[in-house]
Amino acid sequence: MKNLTVRSGALLKTYSILLFFLALKAAGNSAMAWGMKQVPERMSMNPALYLRAMLNPFVAMGVVALILALLTRMALFSLADLSFVLPVTAVGYVIAVFLGKVFLHETVTHRRWLGTLLIFAGSALVGSTSSNTTRSSEVSA
């Protein structure tokens, strides 16, 4: 019984971190895309251009959100397998298509809807498997 409670607690934590990652990634990408449209210069290999682009508040917010998303994904790796994290985080593609359709009024082709459906179904299938098939060798406090 105690084991079951611990397992469901770990599962809840894994899915909470997954949702947080997806939200950060979607917010970061959207802010970055919106901000970059307002930056007049075209990007090249010159790093100064990227630094100047970050003066745009939307680009800066996007960078912060994407750095937090990177750290959140690393926290997710501490709880779940790589072969679990990769397919379930691909739901981000579904969110991107949805946000593009609703907010940017982008045209979504039948092919893209089919791809979105496959990603969603595949992620759900992987999400129904045990998230961690290997054990941590050290446990931090």
Q: What is the contact surface with other proteins in residues (CB under 8 A)?
A: 10, 13, 17, 20, 43, 45, 68, 70-75, 77-79, 81-87, 90, 93, 97, 111-112, 114-130, 133-134, 136-140
Q: Which residue, 8 or 130, is less far from other proteins as judged by CB? A: 130
Structure token digits, residue 46:
């010159």
Q: Which residue, 77 or 103, is less far from other proteins as judged by CB? A: 77
Nearest approach in angstroms of CB 3 to other proteins is: 16
Nearest approach in angstroms of CB 51 to other proteins is: 14
Query: Integer distance in angstroms from the first to the last C-alpha of the chain?
Result: 24
Cα 117 to the chain's mean position, in Å? 18
Task: Measure the CA–CA gap between 20 and 78, rounded to whole angstroms.
Answer: 15
Nearest approach in angstroms of CB 126 to other proteins is: 4
Nearest approach in angstroms of CB 90 to other proteins is: 5
Q: Which residue, 56 or 116, is less far from other proteins as judged by CB? A: 116
Task: Measure the CA–CA gap between 89 and 105, rounded to whole angstroms.
Answer: 24
Task: Measure the CA–CA gap between 98 and 82, rounded to whole angstroms.
Answer: 26
Say whether 45 sits in a helix, a strand or coil.
coil
